[in-house]
Amino acid sequence: MLAVDASGSVSDDRFELQKQGYAAAFRNRQVLNSIRSLTTQSIAVTMMQWTGPELHVQTVDWTLAKDEASVNALADAIEASKRQLFGGGNSISGAIDYSRILLAAKSQRLRLGGISQKIELGTTRGAATKRFVIEKSCQPPL
């Protein structure tokens, strides 16, 4: 999950800098080598923009990064994505909550090296913490 801060305190130049950093990382040979070293030899990636507690948008669809062509296509998609949010406060907890929603919507089964385990994702807003459990299994990430 790539999360780009689009809050009012982030200038257009700094917004672009965030995207350029993500794109450069995926074009780095060490990142591709790390992806290939995983049991799955791939990772699923999406990108979102966030501002306030309720202002988020997914800007790059889920993409399977597994080889040079796919990581370069992902980097291109990151760079091509346009800023869709301006202002609206600053809520990291809102970004975490939206990330959880995107992950759950994609699949309730995530592949992690063929090891089945549970992770708990809690919301960060409010006095009571809600717990959400996602079962990891041997299902493909996409």
Q: What are the Cα distances from residue 70, in Å, to 13, 65, 75, 119, 135?
A: 27, 5, 9, 28, 27
CATH number, domain with residue 67: 3.40.50.410
The dihedrals phi and psi of 68, each to the nearest 5 degrees, come to -60, -40
Please list the pLDDT of the chain residue by residue as tens digits (142 residues): 999 999 999 999 999 999 999 999 999 999 999 999 999 999 999 999 999 888 999 999 999 999 999 999 999 999 999 999 998 888 999 999 999 988 888 764 444 444 333 434 444 444 333 333 333 333 444 5
Domain enclosing residue 59, as ranges: 2-107
What total of structural domains would you count in the chain? 1
The dihedrals phi and psi of 121, each to the nearest 5 degrees, come to -115, 120
Whether residue 121 lies inside any domain: the answer is no
